[in-house]
Amino acid sequence: MTQYLIRRLLLIIPVLLGVYTLVFLLMHATPGGPWDQGLKPLTDAAIEKLNEKYKLDRPLHEQYADYLWGVLTRFDFGPSYRNPSQSVTEIIQQFFPVSLQIGATAMILAVVVGVTLGTTSALNVNTWLDHFCVFFSIVGYSLPVFVVAPLLVIVFALWFGWLPTGGWDGLFTKSAILPVTALAIGPTAALARYSRASVLEVTQQDYVRTARAKGLQERMVLWRHILVNAMIPIVTVAGMYLPFVMTGSFFVETILRVPGIGRYFVKSVQARDYPVIMGTALLLAFLVTFMNLAADLVYGFLDPRIRLD
């Protein structure tokens, strides 16, 4: 087990290195530097000086190694080109917590609501509730975040006037309801869909019949035999939806004017702010690999037949 964990943790390194190399190469192969975006064009001398300051005049392999070294030893992603007074680390520290709060809440909400909905639906197959759940899941699964978010604003903020149209005052205020809901709908629908399928399959297994036959209480059958076994594929799906929630924040934060890393990232891409793009990409890649590992561990915990080694 410990061995497995160490090996999986070590495997994260080549993956992150791959992401780093890919982003580095693509960014540096893209013509147009960070200095051609300003309103006033800079003089050649000024550009040269800036390139020198940020070491952009050095050979590519040196930049590659230098930057990597800075990230590894000092957790330093360099200064933001667009906003030179701030380092990327500071920017991430400032903007990421908001996105993290929204994303984590949305994910928890999606798991709770989605799995409940899917399970209830599977236990009442072919009732109106089941039909509703199937319909909801395909609709929720089909609508992209950038369609859901404006629709929610129009209905709940403009027509009913219950919620603000945008902005951010913290997680426990009215302003958080729309961003969290908008982000949660896609994963909720997907989880409902998968847990319905999964529970339906498990309920037809022999061991469930045996459990009922030996006179186990229905509640015990449900929790001990059906849900635990049905959860296994659901954990994988939940893990798969994590990147979706993270990139969904690009749209939700832009539409609802939430000051998170998603909105900042979108602006940085447009301004070719390399270090910010790099920092965000590595951060998200790290989170995704780490959560995939966590999902696999939970997987092994839920199903002792899967030996982690």
Partner 1 sequence: MKVTKIANVKGRAVGDGSAREERHRSLWRDAFQRLIRNRGAVLGLCCIALIMLAAIFADVIAPCHYRTQDLMAAYQFPSQEHPLGTNQYGRDILSLLLYGARVSITVGLVAQLIIVLVGVPIGAVAGYFGGWVDMILMRLVDIMFAFPDLLLIIIVMTFIKGTLPKVGGPLAPLATLNEITGGLMGVFIALGLTWWLTVARLVRGQVLSLKEQEYVMAAQALGVPRWRIILRHVIPNALAPVIVAATLGVPQAIMMEAGLSFIGMGVDPPTPSWGMMIQEGAHAMRGYPYLVLSPAIAIGVTMLSFNFLGDGLRDALDPSMKNR
Both tokens of 276, joined, read: 């910010």
- Tell which one of 115, 187, 277, 279 touches partner 1 (CB under 8 A): 277
From the list 169, 247, 301, 306, which residue makes contact with partner 1 (rule: CB under 8 A)?
247
CA 278, distance to chain mean position in Å, is 17
Q: Which is nearer to partner 1, 16 or 298 (CB)?
A: 16
By the rule CB under 8 A, 255 interacts with partner 1: yes
Residue 13, interface with partner 1 (CB under 8 A)? no
Interface positions, 200-219, toward partner 1 (CB under 8 A): 200-201
Q: d(Cα 90, Cα 59) in Å, to the nearest integer?
A: 27
- 151 near partner 1, judged by CB under 8 A: yes
Out of 1, 22, 60, 220, the only residue in the binding site for partner 1 (CB under 8 A) is 22
Query: Does residue 15 interact with partner 1 by CB under 8 A?
Result: yes
Q: Which of 16, 50, 302, 308 binds partner 1 (CB under 8 A)?
A: 16
Residue 118 Cβ vs partner 1, minimum distance, rounded to whole Å: 12
Q: Could you tell me if 81 and 273 are in contact, meaning their C-beta atoms sit under 8 angstroms apart?
A: yes
- Of the candidate spans 2-10, 71-79, 262-270, 299-307, the one that interacts with partner 1 by CB under 8 A turns out to be 262-270
Residue 286 Cβ, how far from partner 1 at the closest point, in Å?
8
Site map 155..194 versus partner 1, x via CB under 8 A: ---x------x-----------------------------
SS3 per residue for the chain: CHHHHHHHHHHHHHHHHHHHHHHHHHHHHCCCCHHHCCCCCCCHHHHHHHHHHCCCCCCHHHHHHHHHHHHHHHCCCCECCCCCCCEHHHHHHHHHHHHHHHHHHHHHHHHHHHHHHHHHHHHCCCCHHHHHHHHHHHHHHHCCHHHHHHHHHHHHHHHCCCCCCCCCCCCCCHHHHHHHHHHHHHHHHHHHHHHHHHHHHHHCCHHHHHHHHCCCCHHHHHHHHHHHHHHHHHHHHHHHHHHHHHHHHHHHHHHCCCCCHHHHHHHHHHCCCHHHHHHHHHHHHHHHHHHHHHHHHHHHHHCCCCCCC
38 binds partner 1 (CB under 8 A): no
Q: Which residue from 188, 203, 200 is spatially nearest to 238, judged by alpha carbons?
A: 188
- 83, 87, 150, 205: which one contacts partner 1 (CB under 8 A)? 150
**Number of residues located near partner 1, criterion CB under 8 A:** 50
| Interface residue with partner 1, options 221, 227, 272, 275 (CB under 8 A) | 272
User: 30 is written with which tokens?
Assistant: 């893209």
> Largest Cα–Cα distance in the chain?
85
Comparing CB distances to partner 1, the nearer of 64 and 141 is 141
Per CB under 8 A, 226 contacts partner 1: no
Q: Does 228 bind partner 1 (CB under 8 A)?
A: no
Stretches 25-33, 53-61, 63-71, 298-306: which one binds partner 1 (CB under 8 A)? 25-33
Footprint on this chain of partner 1 (rule: CB under 8 A): 15-16, 18-19, 22-23, 26-27, 29-32, 138-139, 141-144, 146-147, 150-151, 153-154, 158, 165, 196-197, 200-201, 243-244, 246-247, 250-251, 254-255, 266, 269-270, 272, 277, 280-281, 284-285, 288-289, 292
